[in-house]
Chains A and B, each alone.
Chain A
Amino acid sequence: QKEVEQNSGPLSVPEGAIASLNCTYSDRGSQSFFWYRQYSGKSPELIMFIYSNGDKEDGRFTAQLNKASQYVSLLIRDSQPSDSATYLCAVVQGGKLIFGQGTELSVKP
């Protein structure tokens, strides 16, 4: 079982729609969860982090954490073509930050 798992996509949504990106993790003791955005050919950029169960909102982005289900998600409201990128979920497990393979998001005008 992969430690941090994401659907590779591509996930395609129309401009203005809500994009929903999902991530599951294997270590029930994980406490810290991060979402990074990576444009093609560029380095990852931190966009959200969440430590507690529930929702955390920052502008158009909402991170959702459910520790009982070992599930973390990222919602992007009013998706824009500039949101087209690969989104990496990262979870601290065993004292190390473990990255998923990433989900490619494509927002169509």
Chain B
Amino acid sequence: SQTIHQWPATLVQPVGSPLSLECTVEGTSNPNLYWYRQAAGRGLQLLFYSVGIGQISSEVPQNLSASRPQDRQFILSSKKLLLSDSGFYLCAWSPLGGSNQPQHFGDGTRLSIL
């Protein structure tokens, strides 16, 4: 069966520090991968998605970036965090086959910026 791993579970970072969140998927090949952010009391906002190695689509302009160095690895990064970057970051995967496939989420990373 497929599993998705995200780490760390929680992170407290000072403003201006860098960020790296990692997500890996097991048990499937060529998944579509996604990064979402959920601010407190709000809905999920799609940040990035990837349909293959090195292929990244950005949904919102911001100081975050994403990379997919391997088929089942997705990384979210920032060079300098802002207070507004606080939130619950979720990685998700869906099977190859287009956007109509269900997405499955990892456990998430709760990021607090001080």
Q: Is B1 an interface residue (CB 8 A)?
A: no
Q: How far is the CA of A3 from the CA of B24 in the complex (A)?
A: 30
Given contacts A51-B100, A92-B99, A97-B99, A43 and B43 within 8 Å (CB-CB): no
Determine which of A42, A88, A96 lies in contact with B107 in the assembled complex, contact meaning CB atoms within 8 Å.
A42
Residues of A within 8 A of B98 (CB): 95
Q: Mark B32-47, 1 if CB is under 8 A from A, else 0.
A: 0000000000111010
Count, A-B residue pairs, CB within 8 A: 42
Chain B residues with CB under 8 Å of A46's CB are: 102-104
Q: Return the CB mask of B68-104 against A: 1 if under 8 Å, else 0.
A: 0000000000000000000000100000001110111
Residues in A whose Cβ lies below 8 Å from that of B7: none
- Assembled-state Cα–Cα distance A107/B103 (Å): 27
A49 at interface, CB cutoff 8 A? yes
Whole-angstrom distance between the Cβ of B106 and the nearest chain A Cβ = 6
Taking the closest CB of chain B, its distance from the CB of A63, in whole angstroms, is 13
Write the residues of chain B forming the contact surface with A, with a CB cutoff of 8 angstroms: 42-44, 46, 49, 59, 90, 98-100, 102-108
Chain A residues with CB under 8 Å of chain B are 31-32, 34, 36, 42-46, 49, 51, 88, 90, 92, 95-97, 99-102
